[in-house]
Chains A and B, each alone.
Chain A
Amino acid sequence: MPTLEQTTEEILTLAAAHFKVPREQLSPDDDFFKKLKIDSLQALELLTRLEHHFSVELPDYELQGVSDFRTLAERIQARL
């Protein structure tokens, strides 16, 4: 099983590639809504991409109040 750091790194790489933000501009504690400049519908798209990438189901209510990459990684980690 990957470590939390590895999972966070994978999320950062996926988000950077998909939303066309230079990877070096993203860090684990960033607010992904602000940093990726995404709205609610794009957040759902990110969620779907993460579910496919990690082969997990991540109920969206678990993302309420989550806005940084590290906490997002923790939620995913709990389902790996």
Chain B
Amino acid sequence: MTNFTGKTLSWEWKGGVCELGLHREPCNEIGSEMLEEFERFAAALERAFEEGCAVIIYSQLKPGFSAGADLRELYSRSRDVPVAERVAGVREFLERIHKVLNTLDASPLTTIAAVHGVTFGGGLELALACDLIIADKMARFCFPELRLGLIPGFGGIPRLKRDLGNAVVRDLLLTGRSINATKAASVGLVSQLVAEGQALNVARATAAQIKKFDRKTSATTKQSVKPMPYADVRQEIGLFCELLARPAVDEGLRKFVESADVLPYLP
């Protein structure tokens, strides 16, 4: 159980609890560099069951947990590239991020997302792969992908469907609106709503409680109550790539990246 300090994220094991801190400016946009470091983390997680009991994922940056996929990287890599080649590149990225999130989702360790501020798109999908979401009252949640002519691509729809009622799922996806942490707690997305700046502290206290239980019993319980939506997650990759091939997506990405609008994050 070795620690790691990377360019976009770092982790540290303390008494069987792993704290994974995200720190890619400006708001933990998930691009290829962060993906590589997440893959290292997933590999470490698979080796950790013997000694580990819980994982806490949090952001070390003020604006929030994560603003989602790195759309600027996606745009810069897509420009002037034939559609088939672009789709192939994105599919490969999605296959890799899905592997990471499936590992996190199914890990025998208990996983906690301690979130604050912006928790959008891929950032929300990362949180949804965790067992518990502990949210600072200033956290905001959103799936803004439809604004770009896309759907969430990191397994967000299947995990949202698994965890929440269909009316809320439709509201979040079809309007692209963001909701605050109080609303998120009321619909069951957030398990603990805490004061500003307290999400990580409360997550640590929760991990300390989890640590008291027998690991095998906790892992067995998790298996029973957290079905893995593998088939739906795979289907989502295909649907995402179909949508990505359309010219409307180019236009949506261009508008977002080149926007001088003060509210580019707003759907």
Interface presence of B66 (CB below 8 A)? no
Interface residues of A (CB under 8 A from B): 33, 39-41, 43-45, 47-49, 51-52, 57, 59-61, 63-64
Interface pair B262/A39, CB less than 8 Å apart: yes
Q: Could you list some 11 contacts between A and B, CB below 8 A?
A: A41-B27, A41-B118, A43-B263, A48-B138, A48-B180, A57-B179, A57-B180, A59-B177, A60-B142, A61-B267, A63-B263
Interface residues of B in 105-156 (CB under 8 A from A): 117-118, 137-138, 140, 142
Interface presence of B183 (CB below 8 A)? yes
Interface flags, B233-267, vs A, CB<8A=1, else 0: 00000000000000000000000000001111111
Distance (whole angstroms) from the CB of B166 to the closest CB of chain A:
19
Q: Name the A residues within 8 Å of B64 (CB-CB).
A: 41
Tell me the bound Cα distance from A43 to B118 in angstroms.
11
Tell me the bound Cα distance from A40 to B182 in angstroms.
21
Distance (whole angstroms) from the CB of A42 to the closest CB of chain B:
9
Q: Name the B residues within 8 Å of A52 (CB-CB).
A: 137, 180, 182
Q: Name the A residues within 8 Å of B264 (CB-CB).
A: 40
Tell me the bound Cα distance from A26 to B200 in angstroms.
35
Instruction: Give the secondary structure class of A's interface.
Output: helix
Interface pair B63/A41, CB less than 8 Å apart: yes
Tell me the bound Cα distance from A61 to B267 in angstroms.
6
Interface presence of B175 (CB below 8 A)? yes
Interface presence of B59 (CB below 8 A)? no
Interface pair A44/B179, CB less than 8 Å apart: no
Distance (whole angstroms) from the CB of A67 to the closest CB of chain B:
8
Interface pair A33/B137, CB less than 8 Å apart: no
Interface presence of B178 (CB below 8 A)? yes
Interface presence of B176 (CB below 8 A)? yes
Distance (whole angstroms) from the CB of A39 to the closest CB of chain B:
7
Interface pair A57/B27, CB less than 8 Å apart: no
Interface pair B180/A51, CB less than 8 Å apart: yes
Distance (whole angstroms) from the CB of B165 to the closest CB of chain A:
17
Tell me the bound Cα distance from A48 to B117 in angstroms.
9
Contacts A61-B176, A63-B263 aside, 16 further interface pairs with beta carbons under 8 A come to: A40-B263, A40-B264, A41-B27, A41-B63, A44-B118, A44-B140, A44-B266, A45-B117, A47-B140, A48-B180, A49-B138, A51-B182, A52-B180, A59-B178, A61-B177, A61-B266
Interface centre among A41, A51, A52, A63 (most CB of B within 10 A): A41
Distance (whole angstroms) from the CB of A16 to the closest CB of chain B:
18
Distance (whole angstroms) from the CB of A58 to the closest CB of chain B:
9
Distance (whole angstroms) from the CB of B206 to the closest CB of chain A:
23
Interface residues of B in 156-207 (CB under 8 A from A): 175-183
